[in-house]
Amino acid sequence: MVKKIITGNIAAAWGARLSRAEVIAAYPITPQTIIVEKLAQFVSDGELKAEYLHVESEHSAMAACIAASQMGARAFTATSSQGLLLMHELLHWASGARTPIVMANVNRALAPPWSVWVEHTDMMSQRDTGWIQFYAESNQEVLDTLLICYKLCEDKEIQLPAMIGLDAFYLSHTSEIVDIPDQELVDKFLPKYEAQYPIDIENPLSVGSLSMPHQWYPEFRYKIYEAMERVIPRLNQIEEDFYKQFGRRYTGPLELYNTEDAEVVLIISGAAAGTVKETVDILRKKGVKVGAIRLRIFRPFPQEELVKALSNVSFLGVIDRSFSFGHEGAIFSEIKAALYGAKNSPPMKNYIAGIGGRDITTDTIKKIFDNCFNCLKKNKIDTHIEWVDIKV
Amino acid sequence: MKKLEKLVSVKDLPEAPVSNVPSLNQKTGTWRVFRPDVDKEKCIKCSICWRCCPDISIDVDEEGFPIINYNYCKGCGICAHECPKNAIKMEREGK
Amino acid sequence: MKRAGIPTEEFIYSGHTACPGCGAMLVSRYLLKVLGMNTIMNIPACCFAAIPGTFPETCLGVPLLYNAFETTAATASGVEAALKIKGKKEKINVVGFAGDGGTADIGIQALSGAIERGHEIIYVCYDNEAYMNTGMQTSSLTPMGATTTTNPLGKKGGWRTRNKKNMMEIVAAHGIPYAATVNPSYPLDFIKKIEKAKSIKGPSYIHAYSVCPTGWRYQPELGLELGRLATETGIFPLYEFENGVYTINYKKKTKEVLEYYKLQGRFRHLSEDFIKEVQAVVDKEWQKLLYKEECSNKY
């Protein structure tokens, strides 16, 4: 084990290297470029034995990964924003074909106007694609989650692809201390990949034929639904194994911070969760009963876990670093739906923050907490959605 | 992986949509309007008819004569048109 | 074992749902006869995506990966890369088998990338000259004068006036090691070229003439005759491009374009003048091809 001070992008590249990715097909896009460059360096130096495809677009990158995965090779790709959107058609294909591809996505805002800074709309727009979706808070988590994901995705009961979101620049280009585990330990944790339906010359298969309405298209989709239901229980088991092997504990789909006796809780995804937790510390010192929940996994959506975590909360502020035009923030909608019919369904408000990379500071979070308490005191939510720190 | 026959419910399906049953259950011969008839007297056993069938429904017997598989022949008529000795005639089905 | 000049073994089952007289079936049949069972086919949305039938049936006796429309060459690249990293590429043929739409239009980017990266794949375009699977709409390989459902015959004309994109030139411009045109009406030439493509340690491109009775509107029995006319008129010349050198395999340009055009319903509306225009274009392209052969053989 080696401790290095590295950026999220380098951590992602290490994650792919330690996972022994065999086929890497990726197209450069700011701010993901360092991932593909570092992997190219690993391959050039002979430190990673992989086929590196200089694909001509993200769409072809995903196509090549799907094919390679179907052929029994562990496939890895990375992208961001526009690139992720370009792959959209094939994201559905990857989950429909049940290929355990793992992808690092540097969360970046969408154009126009052009922006290279952090926003989660790119990944939120992929909610329906059947991919398991993680949002990382630290570079260590980026590396670790990549390893965990391959083990999770390749499980015969799962067989679904996964994407790990890391915030543009806050994680991708910011250095933190990262523990890089030994290859031998990773090999023990993550065995070799074996395709579920190997392409075998002796027993030829046609993969992806036409399927009629009366048989069996709906049933294939039902299988994806069933597999998604198995993800969180299996993830919890794998994270237990991970802790035993590497000594780092991850807590499944949610990270709860001071929520047991909190009156007001904020929920958020991504690196800004760190800022929320820091603000919670500041307020707790003043005796204010606040807490935070970091939503680590967005798909499958951890309904049960959230209902349990919010069972004693008086007010919930949901911070979305994205927006679904025509409605509201994605996390907000989904939590509302999750709490439908729950014993405790606290009043909640949607705060849209950090759009286009606008910084989320402790001041921002303090403002949000203040607003939550105000609403709670007045027993009235001022507005359903508030775009925070916007110059209106 | 065993052949995917007798599928009844979602439990019988593979996880991914993979097919491995040869299409031989589809008897495309029912599509035919015209059927090819081989005149063995004229046939010179060149096998050109076997070669040009898009449905692979012409086989060749030990003597070298063509055997039309009427289960699958769609009656396109290419064999009749290509036969160098006009030994194949297309006759209307049902006559 | 051979019969009538071609290998006897079949790798396609009957019972597939191709139209009677489908050219793509002859193309795929001859292709697989040469490549054999150690072949992985990558097929996008096209006629051949529907032809093998519905789950759980398939008409192919070799592994087949269906892929999204634009991605045939990218998928084939992924297959080839996976086989290479597993050390299994040596004996397995990786084939991209797409129609003209999936090759020249929506699929051209992936094809360009795959050739540029030098993957060891055999890319076969079965050219039936329109988006036949979706109902015969115009593609960039639809020939001059044809009517299609998006170039329908109307009161103001409407038929296609532009000429086909030259895919052979496009792949040649990439410096592809080997490219060839094939035509099921010339099966021995077809077989030879697939043998050559099989041996190439890099990408190869096969442009296959593929008749379509449904889209071109002619009696299906004329399928192979149309193929012969296509080559004898110079509309579909048989030639190869190998390491920069052009070789024309069939030099007898003996028939007029009209003889080929008059047999197909998609050309029925054309005036004599237009046919003369087409003839002029075909003659010019033929001259250019002869010249390319001469030049490329010199240096």
CATH number for the domain spanning A308: value is: 3.40.50.920
Contacts of A143 (CB under 8 A, 6+ apart): A11, A12, A14, A15, A18, A178, A180
Question: Beta partners for A317?
Answer: A266, A349
In this complex, do C15 and B82 lie within 8 Å of one another by their Cβ atoms?
Answer: no
Domain boundaries, chain B: 33-95
B18 contacts chain A (CB < 8 A): yes
Residue A93 resides in a domain: yes
| 3-state SS assignment for residue A140 | helix
A162 with A260, same domain: the answer is no
Between C10, C12, C220, which is nearest B77 by CB? C220
Which residues of chain C have a CB within 8 Å of the CB of B31?
20
Task: Look up tokens 């001022």; give the residue.
Answer: A382
- pLDDT of C90 reads 85
Q: What is the token pair recorded at C113?
A: 């990338």
Tally of domains within chain A? 2
Between C10, C16, C184, which is nearest B23 by CB? C16
In this complex, do A216 and B13 lie within 8 Å of one another by their Cβ atoms?
Answer: yes
Å from B29 to nearest chain C CA? 8
Q: What is the token pair recorded at A14?
A: 């290490």
**A20 closest CA partner among A81, A56, A73:** A73
Q: Are A190 and A151 in contact (CB under 8 A)?
A: yes
Mean residue pLDDT of chain A comes to 96
A237 with A334, same domain: the answer is no
For A54-112, give the secondary structure using H, E and C: CCCCHHHHHHHHHHHHHCCCCEEEEEEHHHHHHCHHHHHHHHHCCCCCEEEEEECCCCC
In this complex, do C3 and B50 lie within 8 Å of one another by their Cβ atoms?
Answer: yes
Neighbours of chain A (3+ CB pairs under 8 A): B, C
In this complex, do C53 and A210 lie within 8 Å of one another by their Cβ atoms?
Answer: yes
C-alpha to C-alpha distance for C74 and C148, rounded to whole angstroms: 29
Q: Are A314 and A346 in contact (CB under 8 A)?
A: yes
- pLDDT of B94 reads 84
- pLDDT of C299 reads 80
pLDDT at residue A202 greater than cutoff 90:
no
Which residues of chain C have a CB within 8 Å of the CB of A69?
82
State the pLDDT confidence band at A144, using cuts at 50, 70 and 90. Answer: very high
Q: What is the token pair recorded at A277?
A: 């937790």
Which residues of chain B have a CB within 8 Å of the CB of A159?
15-16
C-alpha to C-alpha distance for A164 and A330, rounded to whole angstroms: 17
Å from B3 to nearest chain C CA? 9
In this complex, do A222 and B9 lie within 8 Å of one another by their Cβ atoms?
Answer: no
In this complex, do A97 and B9 lie within 8 Å of one another by their Cβ atoms?
Answer: no
Q: Are A350 and A321 in contact (CB under 8 A)?
A: no
pLDDT at residue B95 greater than cutoff 80:
no
Q: What is the token pair recorded at B11?
A: 């439990």
A-B contacts (CB, under 8 Å): 48
* Chain A residue with Cα closest to C64: A206
Which residues of chain C have a CB within 8 Å of the CB of A55?
74, 77, 113, 117
Neighbours of chain C (3+ CB pairs under 8 A): A, B
Q: Give B10's DSSP letter.
A: G
Question: What is the mean predicted confidence (pLDDT) over A228-245?
Answer: 98
A228 with A263, same domain: the answer is no
ipTM: 0.95
**B78 closest CA partner among B42, B47, B43, B54:** B54
State the pLDDT confidence band at A215, using cuts at 50, 70 and 90. Answer: confident
C6 contacts chain B (CB < 8 A): yes
A237 with A337, same domain: the answer is no
B23 contacts chain A (CB < 8 A): no
Write the class of the CATH domain C9-298. Answer: alpha beta
In this complex, do A55 and C113 lie within 8 Å of one another by their Cβ atoms?
Answer: yes
A232 with A312, same domain: the answer is no
- Full strand arrangement of the beta sheet holding A385-387: A254-257, A290-295, A264-268, A315-320, A348-352, A385-387
> Model pTM?
0.96
* Chain A residue with Cα closest to C75: A64
**A387 closest CA partner among A107, A119, A106:** A119
Q: Which of residues 31-60 of B touch C (CB under 8 A)?
A: 31, 46-48, 50-52, 54-57, 60
Q: Looking at this protein, which amino acid is placed at residue A238?
A: I
Q: Can you give the residue range of the structural domain that contains A69?
A: 2-196+208-246
Å from A87 to nearest chain B CA? 20
For B14-55, the pLDDT digits (tens) are 999 999 999 999 999 999 999 999 999 999 999 999 999 999
In this complex, do B78 and C224 lie within 8 Å of one another by their Cβ atoms?
Answer: yes
Task: Look up tokens 């072949």; give the residue.
Answer: C39
Q: Give chain C's end-to-end CA distance (angstroms, integer).
A: 39
Q: Which of A19, A22, A23 to mutate to test the interface with C (most CBs of C within 10 A)?
A: A23
Compute how many other C-beta atoms are within 10 angstroms of the C-beta atom of residue A32.
28
In this complex, do A70 and C71 lie within 8 Å of one another by their Cβ atoms?
Answer: no
A-C contacts (CB, under 8 Å): 150
State the pLDDT confidence band at B3, using cuts at 50, 70 and 90. Answer: confident
Q: What is the token pair recorded at A256?
A: 């709860």
- pLDDT of A198 reads 85
C-alpha to C-alpha distance for A20 and A32, rounded to whole angstroms: 20
Rounded to the nearest 10 degrees, what angle do helices C23-35 and C223-232 cross at?
80
Residue A268 resides in a domain: yes
A234 with A276, same domain: the answer is no
Question: What is the mean predicted confidence (pLDDT) over A281-296?
Answer: 98
CATH of domain B33-95: 3.30.70.20
For A30-89, the pLDDT digits (tens) are 999 999 999 999 999 999 999 999 999 999 999 999 999 999 999 999 999 999 999 999
Residue C214, exposed/middle/buried by CB under 10 A (0-12, 13-18, 19+)? middle
Q: Which of A43, A48, A52, A60 to mutate to test the interface with C (most CBs of C within 10 A)?
A: A60
Under an 8 Å CB criterion, which residues of A touch C?
22-23, 25, 49-51, 53-57, 59-61, 63-73, 75, 89-90, 93, 199-201, 204-212, 215-216
State the pLDDT confidence band at A203, using cuts at 50, 70 and 90. Answer: confident
In this complex, do A206 and C60 lie within 8 Å of one another by their Cβ atoms?
Answer: yes
Å from C23 to nearest chain B CA? 7
Residue A392 resides in a domain: no
Encode C125-163: b = buried (16+ Cβ within 10 Å), e = exposed: bbbbbbbbbeebbbbebbbbbbbbeebeeeeeeebbeeb
A223 with A298, same domain: the answer is no
C-alpha to C-alpha distance for C116 and C96, rounded to whole angstroms: 15
- H helix or E strand, kind and range, residue C245: strand C245-248
pLDDT at residue A392 greater than cutoff 90:
no
Between B19, B27, B81, which is nearest C221 by CB? B81
In this complex, do A98 and B9 lie within 8 Å of one another by their Cβ atoms?
Answer: no
Between A51, A63, A201, which is nearest C63 by CB? A201
Q: How far is CA A143 from the centre of its chain?
A: 12
Residue A215: give its domain's CATH number.
Answer: 3.40.50.970
Extract the residue ranges of chain C whose pLDDT is less than 70: none
